[in-house]
């Protein structure tokens, strides 16, 4: 049955989706999953088709949360938390929603999402298109149960100057603190003007101080501390990365997501490589793994890392884990491989752990450094 489902996507579903405009296909998938979740029994059907059974060797406890599998869905697909139940039913161990901004905004002009099939990559310049923090809060508050942890990825509005960026991140936390299981500070999208400059200098320490202070205020109001992670870009020098990691470590945040999309176009063959925006997919794999390794080495493994970028196979995920990632995320692989990818990653990771003599994934984290 599982093999037939995989063939069904590759031979029927994917060709149909890839004939559609990429953004229309995106909305069709997210909207379809969201609507399906309102149908009685639909979630059970999806779990039967694509769900991943939790196994002791791959379940992870981190940030005070339980992750039934170490593979999550990266931010950018479910921008408005429309399909949390749906994505929770197709084998993910956690997911990010967003990036969300305080006020809803349309994002950049279309077209703004491009496929590069020979490179197994995507380029997007979406520009944080979303309905705003209050709309997301309403959706998340309506969820009666959650099968997996949900991270809220927060950013600033395009119209907000960097000197007032702190206000936007604080506003997102104020609106969404009760509804996110943990939070991700996005300072690394290449599609909001000047956003990446928040990664450097005093702006980074100021922003993280504001975020952590607001998280503490909200924890006192609502009860319970929640983890904060910072998502960083791959397009930084060694010196910039070292400074960023030192600043992030000193801020008191709980971890780092490495990495966001890249501006690099090295090695691409498809004509869409000329498009501006952030590149995701296989071309990002090695660079993001290198960043994970550098962070782990610099921190001695004291700051948990979620590895993101170019993961298509269990080997890709395992490389990031051995480099220092405690969890990993996918996005582009879901588009190219279909929802069966989670079962393939799960079974492949189990085989790789057993091959190397590890009884639990935590034993493999940072193994390359030992």
Catalytic sites, residue numbers = 189
192 is in an annotated binding site: no
Residue 125 annotated as binding?
A: yes
- 281 in a labelled binding site: yes
- Ligand-binding annotation for 130, yes or no, is no
Instruction: Classify 364 as helix, strand or coil.
Output: helix
274 is in an annotated binding site: no
The H or E element that residue 321 is part of is: helix 314-323
Residue 80, annotated as binding a ligand: no
Neighbours of 174 (CB within 10 A): 15
Q: Is 332 annotated as a binding residue?
A: yes
Confirm whether residue 261 is marked as ligand binding: yes
Strand partners, 186: 231
138 is in an annotated binding site: no
Q: How far is CA 214 from CA 149, 181, 206, in A?
A: 21, 16, 12
Q: Distance (Å, rounded) from C-alpha 195 to C-alpha 136?
A: 22
User: Looking up tokens 């999309």, which residue turns up?
Assistant: 261
Q: Are 55 and 343 in contact (CB under 8 A)?
A: no
For 10, the 3-state DSSP assignment is helix
DSSP of 122-169, one letter per residue? EEE---S-EEEHHHHHHHHHT-S--SS-EEEEE---TTS-GGGHHHHH
Question: Is 99 a known ligand-binding residue?
Answer: yes
- Would you say 136 is a known binding-site residue? no
Q: Is 124 annotated as a binding residue?
A: yes
Of 336, 331, 317, 188, nearest in space to 263 by CA: 188
The three-class DSSP label of residue 254 is coil
Rounded to whole angstroms, how far apart are CA atoms 65 and 148? 9
Determine if residue 231 is labeled as part of a ligand binding site.
yes
List binding-site positions for substrate. 79, 124-128, 186, 191, 260-261
Question: Which residues are annotated as part of the binding site for FMN?
Answer: 75-79, 99, 153, 186, 231, 259, 281, 310, 331-332
Going by the annotation, the residues of the binding site are 75-79, 99, 124-128, 153, 186, 191, 231, 259-261, 281, 310, 331-332
């Amino acid at each position: 049955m599982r093999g037939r489902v995989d063939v069904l996507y590759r031979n029927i579903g994917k060709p149909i989706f890839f004939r559609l405009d990429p953004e229309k296909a995106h909305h069709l998938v997210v909207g379809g999953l969201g609507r399906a979740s309102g149908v009685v029994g639909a979630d059970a059907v999806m779990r039967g088709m694509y769900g991943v059974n939790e196994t002791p060797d791959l379940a992870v406890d981190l940030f005070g949360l339980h992750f039934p599998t170490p593979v999550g869905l990266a931010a950018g697909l479910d921008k408005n938390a429309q399909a949390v139940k749906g994505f929770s039913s197709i084998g993910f161990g956690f997911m990010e929603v967003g990036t969300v901004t305080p006020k809803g905004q349309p994002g950049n002009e279309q077209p703004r999402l491009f496929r590069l099939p020979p490179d197994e990559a995507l380029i997007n310049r979406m520009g944080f298109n979303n309905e705003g923090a209050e709309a997301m809060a309403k959706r998340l508050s309506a969820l009666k149960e959650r099968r997996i942890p949900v991270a809220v990825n927060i950013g600033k509005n395009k119209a907000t100057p960097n000197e007032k960026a702190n206000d936007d991140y604080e506003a997102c936390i104020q609106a969404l603190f009760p509804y996110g299981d943990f939070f991700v500070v996005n300072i690394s999208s290449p599609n909001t003007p000047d956003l990446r400059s928040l990664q450097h200098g005093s702006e980074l320490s100021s922003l993280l101080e504001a975020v952590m202070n607001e998280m503490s205020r909200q924890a006192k109001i609502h009860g319970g501390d929640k983890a904060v992670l910072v998502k960083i870009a791959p397009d930084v020098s060694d010196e910039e990365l070292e400074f960023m990691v030192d600043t992030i470590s000193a801020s008191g945040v709980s971890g780092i997501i490495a990495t966001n999309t890249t501006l690099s176009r090295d090695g691409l063959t498809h004509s869409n490589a000329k498009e501006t925006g952030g590149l995701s997919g296989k071309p990002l794999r090695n660079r993001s793994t290198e960043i994970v390794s550098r962070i782990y080495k610099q921190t001695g493994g004291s700051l948990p890392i979620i590895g993101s970028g170019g993961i298509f196979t269990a080997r890709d995920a395992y490389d990031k884990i051995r480099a220092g990632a405690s969890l990993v995320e996918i996005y582009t692989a879901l588009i190219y491989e279909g929802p069966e990818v989670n079962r393939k990653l799960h079974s492949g990771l189990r085989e790789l752990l057993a091959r190397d003599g590890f009884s639990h994934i935590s034993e493999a984290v940072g193994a390359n450094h030992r």
